[in-house]
Chain A
Amino acid sequence: MKNIEKLQSISTQIRRDVIRMIAACASGHPGGSLGCADLFTALYFNTMDINPANFTREGKNEDMFFLSIGHIAPVWYSALARRGYFPVQELSTLRQLGTRLQGHPSYHSQLPGVRAASGSLGQGMSVAIGSALAKKMDKDDKLVYSLHGDGEIEEGQIWEAAMFAGANKVDNLISIIDMNGVQIDGRTENVCASSSLKDKFLAFKWVVLECNGNNMAELIATLQECKNHAFKGKPVMLLMHTLMGYGVDFMEDDNGWHGKAPSMEQAEKALSQLKETLGDY
Chain B
Amino acid sequence: MKEYKILGEKDTRSGFGEGLVLAARENPNVVALCADLTPSVRMDLFQKEFPERFVEVGIAESNMISIASGMAICGKVPFVGSFAAFSTGRTYDQIRQSVAYSNTNVKIVGSHAGLTLGEDGATHQILEDIGLMKMLPNMVVINPCDHTQTKQATVAAARYNGPVYLRYGRPKVPVFLTEDTPFEIGKALMLNGGKDVSIIATGHLVWPSIQAAAELEKEGISAEVINIHTIKPLDNEAILSSVKKTGCVVACEEHMYNGGLADSIAQLLARNYPAPMEYIGVDDTFGESGKPMELMTKYGLDTEHIVLAVKKAIERK
Interface on A for B, CB 8 Å cutoff? 57-60, 66, 106-108, 115-120, 122-124, 126-135, 137-138, 156-157, 160-161, 163-164, 167
- Secondary structure at chain B's binding surface: helix, strand, loop or mixed? helix
Given contacts A107-B102, A116-B98, A118-B97, contact A128 B70 (CB under 8 A): yes
In the bound complex, CA of A104 to CA of B55 (Å): 30
**A66 vs B104: C-alpha distance in the bound complex, in angstroms?**
15
Partner of B73, one of A115, A120, A137, A167: A115
Closest Cβ neighbor of A57 among chain B residues = B73
User: Do A126 and B70 have beta carbons less than 8 Å apart?
Assistant: yes
Sampled A-B contacts (21; CB under 8 Å): A59-B73, A106-B101, A117-B98, A117-B101, A120-B93, A122-B62, A123-B66, A126-B65, A126-B66, A126-B70, A127-B66, A127-B70, A129-B63, A129-B67, A130-B70, A132-B70, A134-B74, A135-B74, A157-B63, A157-B66, A160-B58
Specify which of A130, A133, A163 is in contact with B60 (CB 8 Å cutoff): A163
Task: Judge whether B63 and A126 touch: CB under 8 Å.
Answer: yes
Whether B70 lies near A164 (C-beta < 8 A) is no
Q: Which residues of B contact A66 (CB under 8 A)?
A: 70
B48 CB, nearest partner CB in chain A, Å: 18
Q: Contact check: which of B69, B101, B103 meets A130 at CB < 8 Å?
A: B69
Task: Give the nearest-CB partner of B63 in chain A.
Answer: A160
- A117 CA / B69 CA spacing, docked (Å): 11
The CA of A58 and the CA of B74, in the complex, are separated in Å by 4
Q: Are B72 and A130 in contact (CB under 8 A)?
A: yes
How far apart sit A21 and B308, CA to CA, in the bound complex (Å)? Answer: 64
The answer to whether B97 and A117 have CB atoms under 8 Å apart is yes
Q: Which residues of A contact B97 (CB under 8 A)?
A: 117-120, 123
CB closest chain-A residue, reference B65: A126
Number of A-B contacts (CB under 8 A): 113
Residue of A nearest to B69 (CB): A127
With the chains together, A176 CA to B53 CA distance in Å? 28
Most A CB contacts (10 A, CB to CB) among B52, B58, B75, B93 go to B75
Q: A266 CB to closest chain B CB, in angstroms? A: 32
Chain B residues whose C-beta falls within 8 Å of the C-beta of A116 in the assembled complex: 69-70, 73, 98, 102, 104
Nearest chain B CB to A122's CB is how many angstroms away?
8
**Complex: how many Å from CA A119 to CA B78?**
23
Q: Which residue of B lies closest to A58 (CB)?
A: B75
Q: A130-B73, A130-B74 are in contact. List 15 more A-B contacts (CB 8 A).
A: A116-B104, A117-B97, A127-B67, A130-B66, A130-B71, A131-B74, A134-B73, A134-B74, A134-B75, A156-B62, A157-B62, A161-B66, A164-B57, A164-B60, A164-B63
Task: Given A126-B67, A127-B67, A130-B72, answer yes or no on A160-B60 (Cβ-Cβ < 8 Å).
Answer: yes
Q: Which residues of B contact A128 (CB under 8 A)?
A: 70
Considering the complex of A and B, which 7 residue pairs feature the smallest CB-CB distances, nearest first? A130-B70, A126-B66, A134-B74, A160-B63, A160-B60, A130-B67, A127-B70
- Expressed in whole angstroms, the minimum distance between the Cβ of B161 and any Cβ of chain A is 13
> Residue B94 at the A interface, CB < 8 A?
yes
**Minimum CB distance partner of B52 in chain A:** A137
Quick one: which of A115, A138, A164 contacts B58, CB cutoff 8 A? A164
Contact residues, B152-183 vs A (CB, 8 A): none
The docked-state distance in angstroms from the alpha carbon of A59 to that of B78 is 17
Judging by beta carbons under 8 Å apart, are B74 and A160 in contact?
Answer: no
CB distance from A145 to the nearest CB of B (A): 12
Tell me which residues across on chain A come within 8 A of B62, comparing CB atoms. Answer: 122-123, 126, 156-157, 160
In whole angstroms, what is the CA distance A59 to B53 when docked?
Answer: 20
> CB < 8 Å: which of B52, B67, B73, B75 contacts A164?
B67
- Judge whether B31 is part of the interface by a CB distance below 8 angstroms: yes
